[in-house]
């Protein structure tokens, strides 16, 4: 949960910077982000996106994740859908993508880890 919180917090900060600049970059290609869900491919998170193990409980981690999600929602409510499509920035894994795709990545990244968590729970149930 802390990793998801850190990713969402950093991504929200980057999205905010991109939207504040309001630099409409040259036309860019919509990139397929589905590879995010492919857990056979491992990715190493950049240092600033790794968990620091600062949380003392699952409840604290969940509260922080809820808070970062709310911050993202509040930011996106300020801008119209068109602004999310025409503004872009360099993503650490996919290169230059639209803000719309940055937001899509956050959801896919969480979905990837949800599958990982479910797999871990299933293995534990089978082994217990």
Q: What's the pLDDT tens digit per position in 6-26?
A: 999 999 999 999 999 876 766
Pairing of strands 95-98, 88-91: antiparallel
Low-confidence ranges of the chain (pLDDT < 70): 23, 25-28, 128
Give the pLDDT score at 50: 79
DSSP sequence for 97-112? EEHHHHHHHHHHHHHH
pLDDT confidence of residue 75: 96
**96 sits in which H/E element:** strand 95-98
Q: Among 35, 2, 45, which residue's Cα sits nearest to residue 108?
A: 35
Q: 95 by DSSP, 3-state: which?
A: strand
């Amino acid at each position: 949960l802390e990793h998801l919180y850190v990713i969402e917090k950093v991504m929200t900060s980057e999205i905010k910077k991109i939207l504040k600049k309001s630099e409409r970059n040259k036309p860019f290609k919509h990139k397929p982000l589905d590879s995010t869900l492919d857990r056979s491919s491992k990715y190493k998170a950049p240092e600033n996106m790794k968990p620091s193990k600062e949380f003392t409980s699952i409840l604290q981690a969940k509260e922080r994740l809820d808070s970062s999600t709310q911050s993202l929602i509040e930011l996106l409510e300020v801008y119209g859908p068109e602004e999310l499509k025409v503004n872009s920035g360099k993503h650490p894994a996919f290169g230059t993508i639209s803000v719309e795709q940055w937001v899509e990545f956050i959801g896919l990244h969480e979905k990837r880890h949800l599958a990982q968590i479910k797999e871990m729970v299933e293995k534990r149930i089978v082994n217990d």
